[in-house]
Structure 1
Amino acid sequence: MKKIFIAGLIATGLFATGCNNNFDPVITGVLSPANFPKTEADFELYTLQAYKPFGSKWGYSDVEYQNMFFSPEYGHLAMFDLPSDQMSIFTEWGGLWEFFSKGDFTFLKTQGKQSHFEKVRYVTRMTQVIADIEKSAISDGAKSKFIAEARMGRAWTMYYLLHMYGPVPVILDASKINTEAESDLTRPARESYVSTIAADLRFAADNLELSPSEYGRFNKGLALGMLTRLYLNEKNWSEAEKAARETVALGKYSLVSDYAGLFREATEVNTETIWAVNCDPVAPTNGEGGGNFNAMALYCLPGDFKSIKLGGGWASPSGVFCPTWQFYDSFDPADKRRALLIPAYTDNSGKARSRANMRGPVLRKYPDESSPGADIQGNDMPVLRYADIVLMLAEAINQQAGPTAEAIALVNEVRAKHGGLAALPAAATASKVSLNDAILQERGWEFYFEGIRKIDLVRHGKWASALEAAGKVTHGPSELFPVPQYVINVGAGKITQTTGY
């Protein structure tokens, strides 16, 4: 199967749109009759813009430097796993690492245009791309496919922005681009904002390929899975159930028996991973060219950890991403998923490291198995797995009619296949509330370090209490990020600051 590394393929000279931040419009290219896309091949290249935020390089230049959603720094793992009950507070580097690990987002008020808030410009860019494709003379089939990719990227970006800032002002009508409409920074109603995401994902699900020939492209399962996540987080249980069942009915996905294999290079393409960031073990880490890379071992291994490939991580005395002992102890000792957390090791000097002198277990979900001497890994990074569909379906069913035999069986399927565990105990299935709690706990064991823990806790109304139970005290006033002050300044009083800031 051919891999594609989208970020290295985008020909920026071809693209230009007025980009809404609803700040000053910014032209990022030059359009003319000579270089505007005309052929189907032109439009395929043009549409690759849709993938730009969804990589794991350090970032890219777009008005200001931008981190990607899956960047090693300020990506989904930092934003949604560090500020949770599963990860220890990390103070050694200060800055974003310390504040995210404490669940304190106040520091983001002073962030400049490298803020993820700037990705409202990307939403406008996709709106323009969609309009340009619609007006093109290419075949209807190609139009639908390319528009589906653009709408998938637009929806996914709006989804992440929703979980960072709440509803944000976006341009969804191409006729408003480069007009005074871009100056209106009024937040849309949540219902309207969410319905736009849902409509984009629905179109993507209906028009994307189930199995694209190029590995790494958006696909039908991804669109349906994100639609399930959207409805679940909005507590629209019936629509979440429908989207999850539609994903199951595709017949393409199934749980693998080797949980650890989901995160290893040799078995990264499998029946369970619906979409992953495809990483290149020889991708350059300097500059903006080349493919995605996985640098997670550098952030997870302590500096003194013996490693065949790396010789240790970048942080000391523990890794940046260091689970708490409380989280480690929450596992059944027989749970195979716990094996990716290392409770003891001998360091480079021969000293024994254990619970007595470690902040927490070493997180080794992505083993460093690429060629020795390289500073990165090639492990793909799963972003959506079939196990998530199964557990979301169980949650949606339980919230409507639980506890039901079907919902319980779905949870037990994941426990047995990945954890090697027996069925849920009777106390966990005695009521809708107890099963809901069991599902949240199961999701914690299943998806740790996959960038969804905080979102799960917020949905269950347990984010603040979970941090407190883990020995953290949230210093920030909100579970959402503040709107950067520079946006407030140019918003002429129209954009409201996140509640609490």
Structure 2
Amino acid sequence: MKKKVILTVMLAGLYVLNGCTNLSENVLDEASASGLSDRQAADGIIAPVYARLPDIFLHTNYFALQEISTDEAILPYRGGTDWGDNGIYLAMHQHTHTSTDPNLRNTWNLILQGVSRSITAINTLPTLNDPVSKTYLAEARGMRAYYSLLTLDLFGLVFVKDDLGENSTILRGEQAVEYIKNELLAVEPNLETAVGPGRLTKGAVWGLLARLYLNAAVYRDRYAAQFTFKPEDMDKVVEYTDKIINSGQYQLSRDYFSIFNSDNNTNKELIFAVDQRADLNGHNRMAYFSLSGDQFPLPAYPNANGTDGPGITPDYYRTWVNAYAPNDPSVDPRFYKQNLSIYTNPADSCVAEANFNINRGILRGQQYGLIRRNGVFLKCADGKYKVAKLFHDTRNRPTQAVDFTEQIDFTVAGSNYNTGYRVEKYEFSKKSVSGRNFGEADIIILRLADVYMMRAEAKLRKSGDAASALADVNLVRAARTATTPPPALTSMSLDLLYRERGFEFYWEMLRRTDMVRFGKYEDKWTEKTNSDRMKRIFPIPQTAIDGASNLPGYLKQNDSY
């Protein structure tokens, strides 16, 4: 959806620049000055509403909050030189983060800018006469509700504002849940059914409503010793997931990893996603974040490599081992996809460029790949690319193998460049010159497998309907027929469903929300012992508190921060 942005949006003062809540903007409408049609003006007004999503979903923003704070991802101070960042990733993992954490501040700012731009669109679109304005108005209002769902989930509050000249009203708990619910219900009739995963549709709103109702018990009573999941909420989860499933508009992908390929914009499992095609935004770094700095996925670009970022914790890895023992976890096609053979002799260590693709999923042990010397890749006599065991040459440790170990922690040994199994779930873009650009894979916000899993959970929580829940979970497992699907489960419980969500959605920025809802967020795992319930939500950034200081009592810091 290419759009020429025709609005210049001026974010006013500390309230927005520092991420606080006075969302007033000065809108300079250039439509009349440039002679643009109402349709062109409408296109330009709706574009900024979505434009902050790629930045929100940057690997160091929403991903860090939702994954590194959990048992799935850990990011140590690599080699004592990389990813130190004043200890913010250590603190995030250990739940000792503070209100000055820059990743928290950036995520807050970007989400509230999305709210602000939505409000601008809500106030401007009604002045245009093109019929598309009605749909765009619904999308803008729905996106404001989605951004509000993010602030509620992450920070425990929602900002409500319609008039650009007014201060926002702050809602928490039941009031916040009701506000988001009513906003989504209000826009659903005016949304389209099929405009692609990069825009808000009826299906996306149904899914967001299901997600809201599923987590409503958490949002109403954030620090409860045990959450009360109301039967009527679970009925609503079933109602809205049924709508999506019965629409016939979406289908589960046969190939699990194709869901995360660079061309996933057309994958029918996606319901709502961040449009990342290269001619639009295309700069996500999900594929490069976990790879070694000595893994080079693209023969065409010798400067495109990984960064030795987060690995998975042994605790999370062991959930796979325990589920499939005595078999290796790779019997589950979601765990690993072998694209690159392990080369053991010179006769089969030469690979044509067109045939070179790195492995996907959870990467363990010795890694093989392209060998770079003096900035170029080695080639065989026949012109093909040399593939061999990888060593940490870029780290000036040429004798240390890129041999990923299960153990990873914050000790000196556990923070080495080879520690921790790595995740290559999203495809490394074939166009990425550096690994840090042109990430075309759409970042998934909601997909059909989650719909089935939410329905299964709602049935379990309401009535203990294990048979229906088991059927939904096994349907998702059996759908991955491009390879041998994982064996069917024979029983179902909340603990098994939680484990299954961990298998299906790892690295998809759902883990923290899941852990809180399932009562697991206060558990112990690698390098994390903090059991404070108050850490279920993050602190409001200090810059926001400071920015609101001229309104006494307006913005209160969350408890324990």
Name the TM-score class by shorter chain.
Answer: 0.7 to 0.9
Q: How does 1:121-136 map to 2 (within 5 A)?
A: 122-134=114-126, 136=127
- Per the TM alignment, residue 372 of structure 1 is displaced from its structure 2 partner at its CA by 6.9
Q: Given that residues 274 and 384 in structure 1 are in contact (C-alpha distance below 8 angstroms), is that contact kept between their aligned partners in structure 2?
A: yes
Q: Find the counterpart in structure 1 of residue 46 from structure 2.
A: 47
Whole-angstrom distance in 1 between the partners of 2:21 and 2:402: 55
SS at match of 2:188: helix
SS at match of 2:53: coil
Q: How does 1:20-419 map to 2 (within 5 A)?
A: 27-31=25-29, 34-35=32-33, 39-55=38-54, 68-74=55-61, 76-92=62-78, 93-95=83-85, 96-108=88-100, 114=106, 116-117=108-109, 119-120=111-112, 122-134=114-126, 136=127, 138=129, 141-171=131-161, 173-174=162-163, 177-179=164-166, 182=167, 187-212=170-195, 216-235=198-217, 236-266=233-263, 268-281=265-278, 291-308=281-298, 313-315=305-307, 319-331=308-320, 332=324, 333=329, 334-339=331-336, 340-344=361-365, 345=367, 346-348=389-391, 349=398, 351=401, 353-355=403-405, 358-371=418-431, 373-375=433-435, 376=437, 377-418=439-480
Letter of the 1:362 partner, please give it. R
Q: 1:488 to 1:326 in 2, by over 3 A?
A: closer
SS at match of 1:383: strand
Q: Given that residues 370 and 378 in structure 1 are in contact (C-alpha distance below 8 angstroms), is that contact kept between their aligned partners in structure 2?
A: no
Letter of the 2:311 partner, please give it. C
More off after superposition, 192-201 vs 26-35: 26-35
SS at match of 1:296: coil
SS at match of 1:478: helix
Q: Find the counterpart in structure 2 of residue 479 from structure 1.
A: 536
Letter of the 1:276 partner, please give it. A
Q: 1:89 to 1:33 in 2, by over 3 A?
A: closer
Letter of the 1:412 partner, please give it. N
Q: 1:306 to 1:486 in 2, by over 3 A?
A: closer
SS at match of 1:206: helix
Give deviations 1:409-467, integer Å, cap 9, x for gaps. Answer: 001112222482222234xx3xxxxx1111111000000011110001111121121xx
Q: 1:406 to 1:130 in 2, by over 3 A?
A: same
- Per the TM alignment, residue 120 of structure 1 is displaced from its structure 2 partner at its CA by 3.6
Q: Which structure carries more strand by proportion?
A: 2
Q: 1:404 to 1:216 in 2, by over 3 A?
A: same
Letter of the 1:166 partner, please give it. G
- Per the TM alignment, residue 392 of structure 1 is displaced from its structure 2 partner at its CA by 0.4
Q: 1:23 to 1:240 in 2, by over 3 A?
A: closer
Q: Given that residues 7 and 30 in structure 2 are in contact (C-alpha distance below 8 angstroms), is that contact kept between their aligned partners in structure 1?
A: no
Seq. identity, %: 24
- Per the TM alignment, residue 23 of structure 1 is displaced from its structure 2 partner at its CA by 5.5
Letter of the 1:94 partner, please give it. G
CA RMSD between the two structures: 3.1
- Per the TM alignment, residue 323 of structure 1 is displaced from its structure 2 partner at its CA by 1.0
| 2:485 is the counterpart of 1:420 | yes
Q: Find the counterpart in structure 2 of residue 64 from structure 1.
A: none
Q: 1:48 to 1:279 in 2, by over 3 A?
A: closer
- Per the TM alignment, residue 471 of structure 1 is displaced from its structure 2 partner at its CA by 4.2
Letter of the 1:77 partner, please give it. F
When the two structures are superposed, what TM-score results if normalisation uses the length of structure 2?
A: 0.73
Q: 1:400 to 1:24 in 2, by over 3 A?
A: closer
Which consecutive unaligned segments of at least 5 residues does structure 1 have?
A: 56-67, 284-289, 430-434
Q: Given that residues 25 and 116 in structure 2 are in contact (C-alpha distance below 8 angstroms), is that contact kept between their aligned partners in structure 1?
A: no
Q: 1:401 to 1:362 in 2, by over 3 A?
A: same
Q: 1:336 to 1:31 in 2, by over 3 A?
A: closer
Q: 1:35 to 1:406 in 2, by over 3 A?
A: farther
SS at match of 1:274: strand
Whole-angstrom distance in 1 between the partners of 2:457 and 2:420: 30
Whole-angstrom distance in 1 between the partners of 2:305 and 2:31: 51
Q: Find the counterpart in structure 1 of residue 377 from structure 2.
A: none
| 2:503 is the counterpart of 1:445 | yes
- Per the TM alignment, residue 33 of structure 1 is displaced from its structure 2 partner at its CA by 9.1
Whole-angstrom distance in 2 between the partners of 1:18 and 1:487: 13
Letter of the 1:108 partner, please give it. T
- Per the TM alignment, residue 192 of structure 1 is displaced from its structure 2 partner at its CA by 2.1
Q: Given that residues 452 and 473 in structure 2 are in contact (C-alpha distance below 8 angstroms), is that contact kept between their aligned partners in structure 1?
A: yes
- Per the TM alignment, residue 101 of structure 1 is displaced from its structure 2 partner at its CA by 3.0
Whole-angstrom distance in 2 between the partners of 1:263 and 1:313: 19
Q: Find the counterpart in structure 2 of residue 432 from structure 1.
A: none
Q: 1:166 to 1:102 in 2, by over 3 A?
A: same
More off after superposition, 362-371 vs 448-457: 362-371
Letter of the 1:245 partner, please give it. D
Count of residue correspondences: 453
Q: 1:35 to 1:397 in 2, by over 3 A?
A: farther
Q: Find the counterpart in structure 1 of residue 355 from structure 2.
A: none
SS at match of 1:262: helix
Q: Given that residues 124 and 170 in structure 1 are in contact (C-alpha distance below 8 angstroms), is that contact kept between their aligned partners in structure 2?
A: no
Q: Find the counterpart in structure 2 of residue 458 from structure 1.
A: 516
Which consecutive unaligned segments of at least 5 residues does structure 2 have?
A: 218-232, 337-360, 368-388, 392-397, 408-417
SS at match of 1:265: coil
Q: 1:168 to 1:25 in 2, by over 3 A?
A: closer
Whole-angstrom distance in 2 between the partners of 1:259 and 1:245: 22
